[in-house]
Amino acid sequence: MSKTRPLARVIAGAAGLACAGAMLAGPAGAAVPAHTHGHNAATALSGSGPIALPTISAVTFAGKTADRSLLQLPANDLVSAKALHSTAKSASARSAVADILVKKLDLSAHAVVAKCVNGKGTVDLVSAVAHGEKLAVSPNPNSGVKVGLGTLGTATLTLNKQVRAADGSLTVTAIEAQVPIAGKTQTISISKATCAKHEGSKPGPSEPGKPTKPAPTEEPSQPAPQPPSNNGNQAPAPKPINHDLPVTG
């Protein structure tokens, strides 16, 4: 599925993003836990780019099952959602968001779910509609929906985005929206799950039998079937360089 459509209304959201980000950074942002290590992890909502969006319901498996929920996003002009829940277990991760509405992108869904089990990812989009068009319940990996923004460029929705890291772990994002803003790209990720692949299992997308749809504007990484060939070499400790760089104090 790859369609380009004008969508002037999406732009009107750009100015609201900053305020929305600030609003979201309140109680929901404060609930973000450390998300620093371990392969199995999940995040209900996150963003990056010129607008700092907080990460919502982020968990990482660190020896025991991790769960985090947020009943409802604080009111804001950018996105509304309920029951944002993430869980990370020893062999799996799952994230789900209910009744989400990204007003300025005309994107809505009753439920958006990303699951990652033993290095394989699946996505469920329940009653998902983007700019008037119903989205597949189980979209193929890395399906792209392009939305024309006139002179500003093109926004991209990547459905069931699957990225495999060098260590074999997989990150599946149910919906990733990329919107050009002032020459940069704002990303909004809805329901993301990361899990490691157990020994003996074969890496690859969750639906290998189906053709991959047209790629989004920013191509995800490809699977890494072989570990990096560092030959076991340990990187050395650095030798401090006598040099001055003014840093942000």
Partner 1 sequence: MTRSATGAAAVVVAAVALLASGCGSDDAQKASPGSGPGAVDTAHLPQATTYGTVKGAPADPAPNAAQNGTVLHVTKDAMVYDKPDGKPIATLPAQQLKGPTWVPVIAQQSGWRQVLLPSRPNGTSGWLKDDPSLKAAASSYRISVDLAKHKVTVTNGGRTAGTWKVAVGTKKNPTPTGRTFVLAALSPTHPTYSKLIFPLGAHSNSLDKFGGGPGTVALHGWPDSSIFGHDVSHGCVRLPQKALSVLARIPLGSPVQIS
Instruction: Name the minimum Å distance from CB 80 to partner 1.
Output: 20
Instruction: Name the minimum Å distance from CB 162 to partner 1.
Output: 10
Instruction: Name the minimum Å distance from CB 102 to partner 1.
Output: 16
Spell out a b/e string for 130-156, using b for 16 or more CB atoms within 10 Å of the CB, else e: bbeeebeeebbbbbbbbbebeebbbbb
CB nearer partner 1, residue 32 or residue 129: 32
CB nearer partner 1, residue 99 or residue 148: 148
CB nearer partner 1, residue 8 or residue 126: 8
Q: Where is 27: in which H helix or E strand?
A: helix 27-30
CB nearer partner 1, residue 125 or residue 195: 195
Question: Which tokens go with 20?
Answer: 């929305």
**Cα separation of the two ends of the chain:** 48
Instruction: Name the minimum Å distance from CB 200 to partner 1.
Output: 19
CB nearer partner 1, residue 21 or residue 139: 21
Q: Is 225 helix (H, G, I), strand (E, B) or coil?
A: coil
Question: Which tokens go with 79?
Answer: 């996105």
Report the distance separating Cα 209 and Cα 35, nearest Å. Answer: 34
Instruction: Name the minimum Å distance from CB 110 to partner 1.
Output: 25
CB nearer partner 1, residue 122 or residue 178: 178
Are 114 and 192 in contact, with CB atoms under 8 Å apart?
yes
Question: Which tokens go with 52?
Answer: 């700092």
Are 42 and 95 in contact, with CB atoms under 8 Å apart?
yes
CB nearer partner 1, residue 9 or residue 110: 9
Nearest to 156 by CA among 142, 136, 141: 142
Are 46 and 189 in contact, with CB atoms under 8 Å apart?
yes
Half-sphere exposure of 50 (CA within 13 A, CB side): 15
Instruction: Name the minimum Å distance from CB 61 to partner 1.
Output: 11
Strand partners, 66: 88
Instruction: Name the minimum Å distance from CB 230 to partner 1.
Output: 4
Question: Which tokens go with 166?
Answer: 């060098």
